[in-house]
C-alpha cells in the first residue's frame, strides 16, 4: 500500500509537549459555538404548536440566517438517520441472499414513493405522536428529507459491499476476522470513496426537496415550518423576486460552506482507502483537513476517541464471536428451529397486515374511482415514464464523459465539486421565476420543458457516481494503460467503461427513481399568478395531494411504485448482476 500523509503531531509528542496555539483556540471556539447552536435550535423544535393557528412565516430578509440554521439542523439529523439506515439495510442485503430477494424490492418501492406521498402518510401520525408540539411537524419534515437521502446511499453502499475484490475477502477469511472486524477493517474502508460521493449527492437531494418538506401542503393542511425551504416556497407563492434572490444567495453560500467544512475534508481523507499499489501524483486536498491536522486539540480528541472505539470494537468482536460460537455449538436443534419458525411467523404476520391494509385501500379506491379514471392515471404514468427515459439517456450521454474527465483530474475536481454541489442541491422551484417566463416567452410547452426541470434535480446522481468511479480507478491500472498505449476508444473500452460501470448503474438507478419523485415538482411550475401544468403522473399526484383525495393519492402512488419496481426488476437488477460478476475489480 502507498504511504499516506498523517498529522505531524504524533501521540508521543502529545504526551511530551503540549502547545496550545491559535488553531486550537479557533477549534475550541467553533466547537462551543456549534454546541450552543444545536442546543438552542433543538429547543425551538419543541415549542407549542396549534394546527389551526400555525406560526407565521416572515419574508423579512433578516430572518434568513435563522431559517437557514433551522434547515441545516434538519438536514444533518436526517443525514445521520440515513447513514444508520444505509449501514444496516445495505449490509444485511449484501450479506444475506435470502434477505436480498425481499429487501431490494422493498428499497425499490420506497425509492419510488414520492416525498409528498410519505408526507401524506406520516404527517398526521407525527402530529398525533406529539400533540400540541411543533416537534411532530419537525419529525414529519425530517422524515421527508430522510426519504430524499437514504435510498441513494443504501444502493451505493450495497454495490460497494458486493464488489469487494475477492483477494481481500479471502485475506479476511484467512485471518479469521469476525463480522464486526471484517466490517470495520475491510468493508467500510473499501466503500469509503463511493459512500462519500453518494453522501454528497444525497445531501444535495435533501436540499432539492427542502421546500416540499418544510412547506407542507397535504391533506388540506398548509403548514410552513421556520426554514429556508418554506421561505423559498412563500417567496414563490407571493411572487417576491427580492426575497427569492436573497434565499437563493443564502442557499448557495450555505452549500459552499458545507462543502468546504464537511465534504471536501471527508473526500480528501477517504482517499487513503483507495485500492492501489501506486500512489497518485495529485490527490484531493482540503485546507480544512490540513488545518485540523495541525490542531493539538483535534489530535488529542481523535486519539482518545480512537482508543475508545478500538476498545469497544475489540470487546464487541470478542462478545459477538463468543455468542456466535456458543449458539452454533450448544444451542439445541429444536431451539434453532423454533427461533427460525418464530422469525418467519413474524414476517408472515407483517405481510398479512400489509395485505389486509392493501385490501382496505383497494376497496376505497374501487368505490371512489371509476375504471376510466384509473386508466387515465396509468396513461399519465406512461407519459412521465417517457420523460424519465429521455432524461436518463441524455444525462448519461452528457455527464458520463464529463464525470470521467473530472474524476481523473483531482485539481479539476476541487473546482468542479462545489459547483456540482450547488447545481445538485438547487431546488427546482427556485428556477420558476426564470423558467416560467422563459417557457412562456419562447412558447415551449411544459410537457417538453418539464424534462429539463426533472433533469435539474436528478442528472447529478449520474455525474457524482461516475466521478466516484473514475477516482476509484487504481493509479497502477491507469499507468499500465499508458504503457500499453491505450488511447481514446480503446482506453474507454478496456479500462474506463469496465471501471465506472458499477458506479454508473448505481447512479442511473437512483437518477431514474429520483426523476419519478422529482416529477411532482417538475410537472407543475408556478410563479405568482402564472402556473404551467404538464400532463403526467407527478402533476396528478401534486394536485390530488393538495386536494386531499386519499383514494386518488393511494392509487397514483401505487401506479408510480409499480412502474419503478418493474423497471428495476427488468433492467437495473440485471445490470447490477452484470456489474457484480463481470466488472468486479479482482
Contact 14, 296 (CB under 8 A): yes
Beta-carbon contacts of residue 169 (< 8 Å; ≥ 6 apart): 186
Lowest mean pLDDT among 177-191, 244-258, 349-363: 349-363
Higher pLDDT, 525 or 228: 228
pLDDT value at residue 426: 67
**For all residues of the chain together, what is the average pLDDT?**
78
Joined together, the cell numbers standing for residue 329 give 455449538
Dist CA 453 CA 518 (whole Å)? 8
- Output the pLDDT for position 68: 92
For residue 32, what is its C-alpha cell? 462551543
Residues 257 and 99 sit within 8 Å (Cβ to Cβ):
no
CA angle centred on 224, ends 222 and 228, rounded to 5°: 145
Domain range annotation of the chain? 45-282+369-581, 331-368
Name which of 248, 160, 151, 148 is nearest 204 in CA terms: 148
Query: Among 377, 293, 312, which residue's Cα sits nearest to residue 561?
Result: 377
Q: Distance of CA 579 to CAs 99, 115, 523, 572, 585, Å?
A: 20, 30, 33, 10, 10
Q: Does residue 524 or residue 88 have the better pLDDT?
A: 88
3-class state of residue 81 by DSSP: helix
Q: What is the predicted pLDDT for the residue at 1?
A: 45
DSSP class of residue 54 equals P
Mean pLDDT of 147-159: 85
* pLDDT mean over 202-216: 76
Instruction: Specify the length of the chain in residues.
Output: 586
pLDDT at 87: 92
Residue 114 — φ and ψ, nearest 5°? -70, 160
CA 580, 581, 584, 586 torsion-angle sign: positive
d(C-alpha 263, C-alpha 286), whole Å: 9
d(CA 404, CA 398): 11
pLDDT digits (tens, 9 = 90+) for 507-551: 888 788 778 877 887 788 766 667 778 888 888 888 887 777 777
| Residue 16 confidence (pLDDT) | 44
Least confident residue range of 222-231, 307-316, 500-509:
307-316
By percentage, how much of the chain surpasses pLDDT 70? 80
Q: Which neighbouring-strand residues pair with 215?
A: 224
pLDDT above 70: residue 221: no
User: pLDDT tens digits, residue range 399-410?
Assistant: 999 988 888 887
The 10 Å CB-count burial string (b at 16+, else e) for 39-69 is eebeeebeeebeeeebeebebeeeebeebbb
Q: Decide: 475 and 501 in contact? Cβ < 8 Å.
A: no
Going by C-alpha positions, the residue among 455, 339, 322 that lies closest to residue 397 is 455
Side-chain-side CA neighbours of 222 within 13 Å: the count stands at 9
What is the CATH code for 45-282+369-581? 1.10.3720.10
All residues at 6 or more sequence positions from 202 whose CB lies less than 8 Å from its CB, including other chains: 79, 82, 148, 149, 150, 152, 153
| Residue 426 to residue 253: CA distance in whole angstroms | 12
Q: CA 420 from chain center: how many Å?
A: 15
Closest CA to 191 of 268, 272, 273: 273
Listed residue (160, 152, 173, 174) closest to 107, CA to CA: 152
The vertex-204 CA angle with 203 and 209, nearest 5°, equals: 100
Q: How far is CA 475 from CA 91, 331, 478, 482, 583, in A?
A: 28, 49, 5, 11, 17
105-124: average pLDDT: 74
pLDDT at 13: 47
pLDDT, average across residues 208-221: 69
- Written as nine digits, the cell of 373 is 379514471
Which pLDDT belongs to residue 73?
A: 92
pLDDT in tens, 545-584: 777 777 788 788 888 888 888 888 888 878 877 877 777 6
pLDDT of residue 220: 62
- Give the DSSP letter string of 208-219: HTHHHHHEE--T
Partners of residue 216 on adjacent β-strands: 223
Contact present, 427 and 208 (Cβ < 8 Å): yes
Whether the predicted pLDDT of 316 surpasses 80: no
Q: What is the mean pLDDT of residues 239-255?
A: 84
Cα–Cα distance between 519 and 540 in angstroms, integer? 10
pLDDT at 83 over 90: yes
Question: Worst-scoring range by mean pLDDT, 77-81, 102-106, 437-441, 537-541?
Answer: 437-441
Nearest in space to 411 (alpha carbons), one of 499, 469, 471: 471
368: pLDDT strictly greater than 80: no
Query: pLDDT grade, residue 6 (50/70/90)?
Result: very low
pTM of the predicted protein model: 0.74
CA distances from 46 to 81, 138, 227, 282 (A): 19, 9, 15, 48
Least confident of 82-86, 192-196, 299-303: 299-303
Phi-psi region for residue 101, left (φ > 0), alpha (ψ -120 to 50) or beta? alpha
Q: pLDDT: is 330 or 47 the higher one?
A: 47
Query: What gap in Å lies between CA 236 and CA 238, rounded to an integer?
Result: 5
Q: Give the Cα separation of 388 and 560 in Å (integer).
A: 12
Amino acid at each position: 500500500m502507498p504511504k499516506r500523509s498523517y498529522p505531524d503531531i504524533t501521540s508521543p509528542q502529545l504526551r511530551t509537549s503540549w502547545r496550545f496555539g491559535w488553531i486550537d483556540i479557533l477549534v475550541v471556539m467553533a466547537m462551543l459555538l456549534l454546541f450552543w447552536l444545536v442546543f438552542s435550535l433543538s429547543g425551538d423544535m419543541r415549542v407549542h404548536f396549534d394546527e389551526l393557528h400555525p406560526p407565521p412565516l416572515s419574508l423579512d430578509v433578516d430572518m434568513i440566517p435563522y431559517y437557514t440554521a433551522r434547515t441545516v439542523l434538519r438536514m444533518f439529523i436526517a443525514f445521520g438517520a440515513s447513514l444508520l439506515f444505509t449501514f444496516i439495510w445495505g449490509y444485511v442485503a449484501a450479506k444475506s441472499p435470502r434477505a436480498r430477494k425481499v429487501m431490494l424490492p422493498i428499497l425499490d418501492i420506497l425509492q419510488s414513493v414520492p416525498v409528498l406521498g410519505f408526507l401524506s402518510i406520516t404527517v398526521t401520525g407525527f402530529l398525533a405522536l406529539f400533540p400540541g408540539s411543533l416537534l411532530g411537524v419537525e419529525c414529519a419534515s425530517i422524515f421527508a428529507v430522510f426519504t430524499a437521502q437514504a435510498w441513494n446511499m443504501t444502493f451505493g453502499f450495497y454495490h460497494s459491499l458486493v464488489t469487494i475484490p475477492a483477494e481481500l475477502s479471502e485475506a479476511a477469511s484467512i485471518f479469521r476476522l469476525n463480522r464486526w472486524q471484517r466490517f470495520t477493517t475491510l468493508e467500510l474502508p473499501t466503500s469509503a470513496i463511493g459512500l462519500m460521493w453518494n453522501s454528497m449527492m444525497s445531501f444535495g437531494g435533501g436540499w432539492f426537496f427542502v421546500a416540499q418538506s418544510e412547506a407542507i401542503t397535504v391533506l388540506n393542511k398548509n403548514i410552513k415550518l421556520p426554514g429556508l425551504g418554506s421561505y423559498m416556497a412563500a417567496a414563490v407563492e407571493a411572487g417576491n423576486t427580492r426575497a427569492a434572490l436573497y434565499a437563493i444567495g443564502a442557499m448557495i453560500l450555505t452549500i459552499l460552506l458545507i462543502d468546504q467544512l464537511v465534504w471536501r475534508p471527508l473526500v480528501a481523507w477517504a482517499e487513503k482507502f483507495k485500492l492501489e499499489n501506486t500512489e497518485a501524483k495529485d490527490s484531493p486536498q482540503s485546507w480544512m483537513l490540513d488545518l485540523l491536522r495541525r490542531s493539538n486539540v483535534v489530535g488529542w480528541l481523535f486519539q482518545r476517541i480512537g482508543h475508545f472505539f478500538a476498545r469497544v470494537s475489540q470487546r464487541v468482536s470478542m462478545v459477538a464471536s463468543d455468542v456466535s460460537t456458543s449458539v452454533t455449538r450448544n444451542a439445541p436443534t429444536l431451539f434453532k428451529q423454533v427461533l427460525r419458525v418464530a422469525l418467519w411467523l413474524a414476517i408472515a404476520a407483517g405481510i398479512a397486515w400489509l395485505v389486509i391494509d392493501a385490501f382496505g385501500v383497494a376497496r376505497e379506491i374501487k368505490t371512489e374511482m371509476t375504471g376510466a379514471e384509473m386508466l387515465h392515471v396509468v396513461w399519465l404514468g406512461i407519459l412521465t415514464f417517457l420523460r424519465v427515459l429521455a432524461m436518463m439517456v441524455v444525462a448519461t450521454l452528457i455527464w458520463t464523459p464529463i464525470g470521467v474527465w473530472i474524476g481523473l483530474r483531482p485539481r479539476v475536481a476541487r473546482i468542479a465539486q462545489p459547483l456540482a454541489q450547488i447545481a445538485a442541491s438547487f431546488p427546482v422551484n427556485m428556477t420558476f421565476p426564470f423558467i416560467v417566463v422563459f417557457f412562456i416567452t419562447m412558447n415551449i410547452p411544459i410537457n417538453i420543458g418539464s424534462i429539463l426541470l426533472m433533469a435539474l434535480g436528478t442528472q447529478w446522481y449520474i455525474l457524482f457516481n461516475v466521478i466516484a468511479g473514475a477516482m476509484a480507478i487504481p493509479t497502477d491500472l491507469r499507468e499500465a494503460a499508458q504503457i500499453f498505449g491505450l488511447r481514446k476508444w480503446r482506453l474507454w473500452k478496456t479500462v474506463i467503461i469496465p471501471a465506472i460501470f458499477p458506479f454508473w448503474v448505481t447512479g442511473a438507478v437512483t437518477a431514474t427513481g429520483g426523476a419519478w419523485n422529482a416529477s411532482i415538482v417538475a410537472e407543475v411550475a408556478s410563479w405568482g399568478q402564472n402556473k404551467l401544468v404538464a400532463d403526467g403522473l407527478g402533476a396528478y399526484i401534486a394536485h390530488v395531494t393538495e386536494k386531499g383525495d386519499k383514494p386518488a393519492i393511494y392509487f397514483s402512488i401505487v401506479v408510480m411504485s409499480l412502474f419503478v419496481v418493474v423497471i428495476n426488476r427488468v433492467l437495473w437488477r440485471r445490470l447490477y448482476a452484470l456489474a457484480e460478476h463481470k466488472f468486479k475489480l479482482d
